[in-house]
Structure 1
Amino acid sequence: MNRERSPDSSKPSSEATVITLIDQSDEELAQVACGDRNAFAVLYRRHVTDIYRFLLVRVGKVQDAEDITTQTFEAALQHIAGYQGIGKFKSWLLGIARRKAADHFRQKRVTLPLEFAQHIPHPDTPLDECIDQQLRLELVASLLHRLTPERSEALALRLFGRLTIAEVAHVMGKSEAAVKMLVHRAMSDLKQQLTNSQKEN
């Protein structure tokens, strides 16, 4: 009697596996992602957009942001065994993206021409509404690069990485009070940049 079975007959289909994984938390998925590419694929789909948006406003160019996003997830997969569940997985992932962006800046100087004046909203529009109105990320990137590095990074993590103040503090290695101040000042600076750009054009 032939007792051989097809390779997939003793385990759930890939689609069923992914559906099951979708219900798990980031931290649960990270614990098994070393040996389960489906688990890592779920993590990738959950976070790739926020990682990309954060990197785009940090580096300012679409191609560079795409490349560094790829590098970030490659590094995450390579080192995911080192994630110990201390802090949220997304914060750990953004920490990798942050280091990759820093490597990028060390390797070459990035200049950002300000060529987006026609997309600048009225200066009285609140910053969060500007973003809600599809304000181009390239414009925000060009303006963020005029802020101090710490203010720019804190605001990028908060708005585009979608981290809480506590999570930004964890990623940057600062107190929550310090991060709140950085974000507050960055928001004020960015609104002023928008106002100045409007006046110049």
Structure 2
Amino acid sequence: MNEKEIIRRIKQGEKALFETLVKEYYQEIYHFCFYKTGDAESAYDCTQETFLHVIRFLDGYTERNHFRAWIFGIARNVCSDFFRSRKFVTMEEEALEGVQEEEEGYRRAEMRDSVQAALNRLPEMQKDVIILRFYYDMKLKEIAAVVGAGIPTVKSRLKQGMEKMKQFLGKDGDLQI
């Protein structure tokens, strides 16, 4: 059964099929929320909230956009609401403190933390585009649907965001403060 059929049947009352959508998208949405919040617990909360919104608003969903773009748009809005509704303290220092891995693994974790810290320094509009493009391999058209902007705007945000990331990370990939 394809996604359109599942959504149609859920709208017709077969609510048990919602679990199929959750299984399909949960990990992607969780990881997206993690990249946005930088914290596992906050990402979990935002993921749960995203799926609550999907349940609440699925009847209003129409096939103009792809479902994937629609659900990522909801996740993006939920994460934005999260930052507006709470004083959020980034967990970068805590993430760096307890890392006890072998040298190669340590370097990878350090680089991942540097990239996350650099992402956190970007304006939300650039951060969203970079996450969707590089972590979720979305095409520019899909990203435009998620963020509600035109393709030229998405290209511009992507280019500007990448330039800032290069500045933030420097030559060695270490965060420049």
Normalising by the smaller structure, the TM-score range is 0.7 to 0.9
Aligned-partner Cα distance in 1 for 2:5–2:169? 42
Q: In the alignment, does 2:12 pair up with 1:56?
A: no
> What is the CA–CA distance in structure 2 between the aligned matches of 1:199 and 1:167, rounded to whole Å?
30
2:152 paired with 1:189: no
Give the number of the structure with larger relative contact order, counting CA–CA contacts within 8 Å between residues 6 or more apart. 1
Is residue 2:48 matched to residue 1:75? no
TM-score by length of 1: 0.71
SS at match of 1:112: coil
Could you tell me which residue of structure 2 aligns to residue 198 of structure 1?
Answer: 174
**1-side partners of 2:9 and 2:20: how far apart?**
12
Superposition TM-score, scaled by structure 2 size: 0.80
- How many Å separate the matches in 1 of 2:43 and 2:137? 17
Unaligned runs of 5+ in 1: 1-20, 122-132
Is 2:157 aligned against 1:179?
no
Partners of 2:168 and 2:176 within 8 A in 1: no
Paired letter, 2:44:
E
Query: What is the identity, as a one-letter code, of the residue corresponding to 2:152?
Result: A
Query: Counterpart in 2 of 1:145?
Result: 120
Query: Which structure is higher in helix share?
Result: 2
- Deviation sequence 1:99-128 (CA, Å, 0-9, x none): 11111111112222533498555xxxxxxx
Moved more, 38-47 or 174-183: 38-47
Are 1:87 and 2:57 matched, yes or no? no
The match for 2:43 is: 65
Unaligned runs of 5+ in 2: 100-105
Query: What is the CA distance between 1:139 and its match in structure 2?
Result: 4.8
What do you get for the CA RMSD once the two structures are aligned? Answer: 2.7
Decide which structure has the larger Cα Rg and report it.
1
